[in-house]
A = this chain, B = another copy of it.
């Protein structure tokens, strides 16, 4: 017997998300650099989600999910497991709505990220560093408090919120031939694909994924979620794996996944720092890496790239420093 398909968001949910997050989220700028166009052999339009609140597009989905809660659900508070950009984004969104958030984090999570979450007023609960322990701790919390789980990507409102970045980009540049966004769990790519198909069906929608964490690429080829891979990549934001919900959306609406290895991604990241003067994290630079790696595919096209985030440890940059 087939597993029933999970509820899928539609483009109307992206429009609702845009209205819901408008009082809170930044409309981020779209930037260009002549020298990067020349390198890529195409016209590139960078949607700067590293300039979004908390430094990542994740605020869009988190904000939409938090403000979409009924008053009754909101009163019980929210819970999540992410200590990364989703955790920080959710912490800010919950603070803005004035509701409680608990974040389950594994022992050993970076102190600086936990500090950002705690600064926004969220409660941190530690658990053993295994997925089983995280799930058990999360389920115990939900059973105990009735808190609402807001998953980083397997959530209709989160996906719809992430689709608002492409909505803004297409409002500013309605003539794009392609859009390329990073893919980890697939929330951003799903939302982007929903928006792209609705507003500009002739535009190609690509995910960009690290070769060291190419589970989305493999899952689309296999036709089911592949979840037994061990990620090995500098892109700490792209280690998530598709859920049935995001897989279904990508199967319907995305054109495919382009791969880039870590050396290509770090080189692209450095180009973005040098030429665009933007602090972009590795996960945020993989879109440019994928475009630079596919010069024939994109030659002469108008290509949107979502720079997904800019949260990086300035004391540990991934290129060699001079002494």
Binding site for B on A (CB under 8 A): 29, 31, 34, 50-51, 53, 55, 270, 273-274, 276-280, 310, 314-317, 319-322
17 A-B contacts (beta carbon < 8 Å): A29-B29, A29-B31, A34-B53, A50-B277, A273-B314, A274-B279, A274-B314, A277-B280, A278-B278, A278-B279, A279-B279, A314-B319, A315-B321, A315-B322, A316-B322, A317-B321, A321-B321
Contact of A277 among B270, B278, B317, B322 (CB under 8 A): B278
Q: What is the predominant secondary structure among interface residues of chain A facing chain B? A: loop
Assembled-state Cα–Cα distance A316/B323 (Å): 8
Residues of B within 8 A of A277 (CB): 50-51, 55, 278-280, 310
Task: Give the copy number.
Answer: 2
| Smallest CB separation, A94 vs chain B (Å) | 16
Residues of B within 8 A of A53 (CB): 34
| Smallest CB separation, A43 vs chain B (Å) | 15
Residue of B whose beta carbon sits closest to that of A322: B315
Assembled-state Cα–Cα distance A309/B188 (Å): 32
| Smallest CB separation, A110 vs chain B (Å) | 13
Residues of B within 8 A of A50 (CB): 277
| Smallest CB separation, A229 vs chain B (Å) | 30
Residues of B within 8 A of A273 (CB): 279, 314
Residues of B within 8 A of A280 (CB): 277
Is the beta-carbon distance between A270 and B31 smaller than 8 angstroms? no
Residue of B whose beta carbon sits closest to that of A281: B277
| Smallest CB separation, A68 vs chain B (Å) | 23
